[in-house]
Each structure stands twice: as C-alpha cells, then as structure tokens.
Amino acid sequence: MRYLPKSDLERREMLSTIGVNSLEDLFSHLPEEVRIKQPLQIAPGKSEYDIVDYFRARGTENANGYSSFLGAGVYNHYRPVLVDTVVSRGEFLTSYTPYQAELAQGTLISIFEFQTMICQLTGMEVANASMYDGSSAVPEAAMMAMRLTNRDEILVARTVHPEYREVLATYAQHQGMPVHEIGYHPESGRIDLEDLDRQLNDKVAAVILQSPNFFGVIDDVKKAAEITHRHGALLVFVFTEAVSLGLLEPPSDADIVAGELQSFAIPPSYGGPYAGIIAAKEKFIRQMPGRIVGETKDTHGHQSYCLTLSTREQHIRREKATSNICTNQALIALMATVFMTIYGKQGLRELAGQNLSKAHYLASQLPLRFTGPFFNEFVVNTNGRSPEQINDALLGEKIIGGLPLKRFYPELDGAMLLCATEMNRREQMDRVAEAFHQ
C-alpha cells in the first residue's frame, strides 16, 4: 500500500528484532472476545485516480457554476491564490501544535501576527490563536464572562445568528447559566434597547450582540455597551462577516469579541472547517480560553515566540481549566492571516467598499424589510410570492437566491435574507431584482 513505506523484507527483519514471528503476534495478547470477528466490510483500497474520480462525481452532484446570493454566516469572497500556496507548504500543513517552540517558530510567529491583526481589526487588546468557529466561540465567551463577573445569566440578542444561539443553548444547559433573549426593533431590525434595559439586572454576566446582525443590520453597539455597563455586565460583540470590519467602526466598547473569520479566504466547504476567534481587553486575558502565543527570548537573547499562559488550559489544569478546548483551527487561521496580509490596510477597506456598493445596488431595486443601516446583507419582503417561489425561479437561471427567514424567525414569513459580495456581478443582481418584480 502506497502510504506504508516498508517492504516485507524490512518487516521480517523488524519482527525478528522484536522477537516475534508474525505481525499477528503483536496483538495476540488481546482477549479473544474483544478481537474483531470478521474482516472490516469496507471495499479494498482504491487508486489515486479512483479517489479523485469519486470526489469529482460528488462535486458535480452539488451546485456547480451557480452564482449565489446566500450569506447568513457564510460568505462568498474571492480567495487569493497565495493563500493556498502558503497553507499547502508541508511545513505548515503537516506540523503539530507548537509545543516545542524551537522547532515551530514558523507557526508561532504566524499566530503572533494573527493575534496582532485580530486586535487591530477589532479594537481589542488581546486575542487567542483561534477557536473552532464563530458558533462555539460565543458560548466560550459567555463562560468567560461568567468567570469574570461571578454572575451567571446571559442575555443574547435574537439577531445573533440562530445557529450560534442554538450552540449557546447546548453549552449553557448544564453550566447553571440561564440564557434569555432580547428582541429586535420591528422597524429598524436593531436590538430593542428598551427590552435590553428592562431585562438587565445584577445577575447578568454578559449581553451578546452581533453586528452586522443576522439581518445584515448594523447595530448600535455604543448604546448597547453603555446600557450593559451601567448594570455591571460585560458586552460580548459577535461578528460573522469579518470583511465588514474593513469599513465599520471597531467594537472597542465591547469587553469580549467572539467572531468567525470564514470571510477571510476560508472556503465555504459546506459549513467547515472555519476559524473562530476570541479577543478581549487585556485585563481579561487569564480567563480567555484557547491557545495564546507570546513573545519571549531564547538563551542567546534572540526574540522568539512560544505558547503561553498554559496554566489556563486543560493539559495543565485538567478539571479547573478555562475550557476543554485543545485542537484549534491553526491552519485555517493561517489562511486568514495570509488573506489579511495580502489585502492589508488599503485592500480590506476597498474590498469592504465594493461589498457595500454591490449590496446597496441590489437593495435599491428591492423592498427592504428593515430601515437600519446595512453592509453587504439585507432582508427583503417578497410581497405576495413566497421566498421559495422566487428562489425556484432563480435556480432555473443558475442563481441561488437568498435564505428564507421563516425557518428561524416565524414572524418573518415572506422575508428573505440576501447577500451581495465582490463575487456578484451586476447582470446577476439585475436578474435577482427582476425575479422579484415578475
């Protein structure tokens, strides 16, 4: 088999060094009752060609050659070629977690740069080396707030990504962490600040708010932070569309930021792998979950880097750890790092600007559901026809339309979430607008 590098001759030599006669002797000590009864019912090994062929066939059974107006937490952005060039280097791809710093400076430096760029983007002072994704970063941020405030209730805006809220509920159920939802203003689509003020009390550890929110609406983070802080709670800022940070005011008023970086050159890949982050004010660093890279010196006095503050983590602290997280998303975070480096200061702003222009071009032709400002996503009314009917019509033109919102928000039956990015061309947007007016 091509992944097994030994010849039978080598195997025999090694068996004789060990002092046994056959490979089977190496596990003959396993009790009879635990040994496998019959060979695995899995087809014999396939050639590389067969494997490529199989997956190509599966790829053709999915959407191919469609243009898409789906967002809702996963965005179509162009992936610069250099991103895959870098992450395909075996030295990044096939290395382990950088516990042995002397052999892993490449990974460590790239993570240090990642943490720095995340801070620059979000207005936070410290960031970790990544979380699984945005959805799991949210409950980790909530638990962090719980430890920091010694309070246990969580308020989450209903405009936070519905699947993130579901994950939060799963994590919260056995932590003694009641979660309550804050409504949204039916006209603006922004968080209902009066409801927030009403529900806040001295038991609330954190208020979780997303912006742009699930409806694409940019929320009033400053006001929400003010109200939250007045009650002694922490504000957790969530983002799913990282490109928006190229134009939008960074959430410096928040205490903790939990976000998803999929927009930064991470392929949609049917839902993962992506990369989440947690960033925060510096004073909170010792309660942050996940790996963190810090600067230090080697014995020659050269600047070098290593994993640090590991006494927060499970491999040292076991049941007293800040989280059970071990494996993170290092290679995916590296995609984001390369993306941020390529676009840089000017490029990210220009890219965000294109998204803004495209979305506003499309939106200008459609009946908007909410009045709040938006970046590259917005909710529209489908006026009499169902979102599914419109989407079906668009599929005939090889266009995947927006996300019908009824599934997550029953009160928004007849509304659809649309997204336009730099990947959508004007002609396609005109087709979408036509479908609404037919």
Under rule CB under 8 A, which residues in 6-35 are in contact with another protein?
6, 10-11, 13-15, 17-20, 23-24, 26-27, 29-31, 33-35
Q: Which residue has the tokens 């997550």?
A: 408
Is residue 178 a contact residue for another protein (CB under 8 A)?
no
Interaction residues for another protein, span 333-392 (CB under 8 A): 334, 338, 340-354, 356-358, 360-361, 373, 375, 391
Residue from 67, 77, 98, 235 touching another protein (CB under 8 A): that is: 98
Out of 21, 201, 311, 389, which residue is the one contacting another protein (CB under 8 A)? 311
Q: Does 327 bind another protein (CB under 8 A)?
A: yes
Shortest Cβ 416–another protein spacing (Å): 12
Q: Which of 154, 160, 163, 378 binds another protein (CB under 8 A)?
A: 163
Exposed / middle / buried, residue 348 (Cβ in 10 Å: 0-12, 13-18, 19+): buried
Residue with structure tokens 């491999």? 315
Contact of 150 with 177, CB cutoff 8 Å: no
Q: What DSSP character marks residue 203?
A: T
Q: 157, 181 in Cβ contact below 8 A?
A: yes
Which is nearer to another protein, 294 or 414 (by Cβ)? 294
Count how many residues are written for the chain. Answer: 438
Closer CB to another protein, 156 or 352, in the complex? 352
CB of 233 to another protein, least distance (A): 22
Q: Which stretch binds another protein (CB under 8 A): 78-86, 150-158, 229-237, 378-386?
A: 78-86
For the bound state, the minimum distance from the C-beta of residue 362 to another protein, rounded and expressed in Å, comes to 8
Q: How far is the CB of 167 from another protein (least distance, A)?
A: 5
Nearest-approach distance from CB 272 to another protein, in angstroms: 4
Cβ atoms within 10 A of the Cβ of 39, count? 6
331: left (phi over 0), alpha (psi -120 to 50) or beta: alpha
Number of residues that bind another protein (CB under 8 A): 202
Which of 180, 198, 203, 317 contacts another protein by CB under 8 A?
317
CB within 8 Å of 276: residues ≥ 6 apart: 130, 131, 132, 133, 134, 135, 136, 137, 258, 259, 260, 261, 329
Spatial contact of 237 and 257, defined as CB atoms under 8 Å apart: yes
Sheet of 377-381, strand order:
377-381, 415-419, 403-404
Query: What is the b/e burial string over 60-82, where b = at least 16 CB atoms within 10 angstroms of the residue's CB?
Result: eeeeeeebbbbbbbbbbbeebee
Q: Is 396 among the residues that bind another protein (CB under 8 A)?
A: no
Residue 285 contacts another protein per CB under 8 A: yes
How buried is 26 (Cβ within 10 angstroms: 0-12 exposed, 13-18 middle, 19+ buried)? Answer: exposed
Within 143-162, which residues bind another protein (CB under 8 A)? Answer: 161
Q: How far is the CB of 175 from another protein (least distance, A)?
A: 7
Residue from 270, 396, 410, 411 binding another protein (CB under 8 A): 270
76 near another protein, rule: CB under 8 A:
yes
Contact call for residue 433 and another protein (CB under 8 A): no
What is the three-class DSSP state of 85?
A: helix
Among 180, 222, 283, 385, contact with another protein (rule: CB under 8 A): 222
In angstroms, how far is CA 367 from the centroid of its own chain?
30
Question: Which of the residues 99 through 138 are near another protein (CB under 8 A)?
Answer: 99-107, 109-113, 115-117, 119-121, 125-127, 129-130, 132-136
